[in-house]
Amino acid sequence: MNKAKIGIFGGSGFYSLFDKKTEVNEKTEYGYASAPVTISKIEGQSVAFLPRHGLHHQFPPHKIPYKANITAFKELGVERILGPNAAGSLQPDVKPGDFVICDQMVDRTWGRDDTFFHGPDVAHISFAEPYCPEMRKVAVEACQKLNIPYHPKGTVVVINGPRFSTRAESKWFSGHGWEVINMTQYPEAALAREREMCYLNIALITDYDAGLEGMPEVKAVTAVEVARIFKENNERVKKLIAEIIKNLPEERKCPCGEAMKHAKL
């Protein structure tokens, strides 16, 4: 059976990664993943790729089969997940085209199946640090080496979607000092933690959400604009992914791999 220790979820506008690949389309206990998983080599490492919205963007954020996606990776042996995603900016200094290596998250979603533990088997994972510190360090160093405009940390607020924010909502989020807005980071990262997999957020800023207060020339986001900006930056995303994979330590020394050790009463 094909195996891979590294998995990549493709975001909006990022639906394929490999030219030569092996395709896996096994059904998990949570149903099928968003698309067949493809496996190939990057920097000598076996890597699995899965577009989280499906090959034709047929899954809106609140309907993505997150548990099936995570399980598909887990069954292939994935230990580390890179989660590039299209995201909006909530602050003037975080500009379209910038990358943000987020270190924190605020969940504003609702109704999503966000745990593998619905009882009688119950677990309470620690999620104080939602993103793998080891992978974040490697990602920041990769951005520096490639001279990519980036922010070494930031808080992403995850909204339910599929609609974008009102101006009032966007002002509320930015007033908290949060930098990034997205629709898919939760429960994806939390489910990965429950399966003791490392998870890295790579937010590519495509827009200024509902615009910037006092700057009427900055227009509110549209889906067409998101897709255009992400497509324009696909090659930079791929180069960053390759650089990160090249520099990941062979063995994990982060706490992610033992997330369940103290999660049960």
- CATH number, domain containing residue 242: 3.40.50.1580
Q: Residue 1 falls within a domain, yes or no?
A: no
Q: Residue 244 falls within a domain, yes or no?
A: yes
- The answer to whether residue 23 scores a pLDDT higher than 70 is yes
Q: Residue 265 falls within a domain, yes or no?
A: no
CA-CA distance, 130 to 177, in Å (whole number)? 18
Element (H, E) at 88: strand 80-89
93 is catalytic: no
The band of 215, judged by pLDDT with boundaries at 50, 70 and 90, is low
Domain enclosing residue 74, as ranges: 6-258
Structure-model confidence comparison of residues 210 and 250, the more confident one: 250
Q: Residue 96 falls within a domain, yes or no?
A: yes
pLDDT given at position 212: 67
Catalytic residue among 19, 93, 98, 209: 209
| Total domains in the fold of the chain | 1
- The answer to whether residue 115 scores a pLDDT higher than 60 is yes
103 is catalytic: no
The band of 101, judged by pLDDT with boundaries at 50, 70 and 90, is very high
Q: Residue 49 falls within a domain, yes or no?
A: yes
pLDDT given at position 228: 80
- The answer to whether residue 1 scores a pLDDT higher than 60 is no
Q: Residue 213 falls within a domain, yes or no?
A: yes
Q: Residue 157 falls within a domain, yes or no?
A: yes
Q: What angle do CA 164, 165, 169 make, to 5 degrees?
A: 170
Catalytic residue among 98, 103, 121, 207: 207
Q: How distant, in Å, are the alpha carbons of 126, 140, 251 from that of 262?
A: 8, 29, 21
Q: Residue 46 falls within a domain, yes or no?
A: yes
3-state secondary structure of 66: helix
Q: How far is CA 260 from the centre of its chain?
A: 21
- The answer to whether residue 259 scores a pLDDT higher than 90 is yes
Residue type, 138: V
